[in-house]
Structure 1
């Protein structure tokens, strides 16, 4: 892996770790559901898709600013809906590991 790609992985990983940590840290203090109306949420994303790529940092900041505050906080101790369990840290990071190796499920004979 090139040093540039490794650096990008580390930089983005740290940004994502910070978002996840902030989210988990605040779960005791936030409402389960956002008070935003559907029109409010639509307005956040009512723009044409970009013709050119955007920087990953911009995507992460948009997620932090526009998605996290309006998510349904199922891991909250105040959520009594379907009793979805709070994801364990290993589950969050195991998803990242699976994504990192990007295996082809159809080519199961090639590797585990």
Structure 2
């Protein structure tokens, strides 16, 4: 289950389930759509409890980041496990998705 908490109007912290995969992505897509429509276009995904991500999950994160950027916002990842960090590096997605050591750092990066 994807959880979220509004952090000051246009910024949201989203906490995904343990696995980001095909079975969990429809809820995330819906959430990002609703947030963007409400003007909440700056998102931080707190990955501290996520241990697995598949290719559909990676693609959906990239698409969400692009959609939020198109709406004037962005998507940032925080507290990413070493295994998922490796996947981001191998796929070069660390160049597309901004990664921060913790949620606080990611939130502060929005200024």
Which interval holds the TM-score relative to the shorter structure?
Answer: under 0.3
Look at both structures and tell me which one has the larger radius of gyration over its CA atoms. Answer: 1
Q: TM-score, normalised by structure 2?
A: 0.26
Structure of greater relative contact order (alpha carbons < 8 Å, 6+ residues apart): 1
Q: TM-score, normalised by structure 1?
A: 0.26
- Tell me which protein shows more helix as a share of its residues: 1
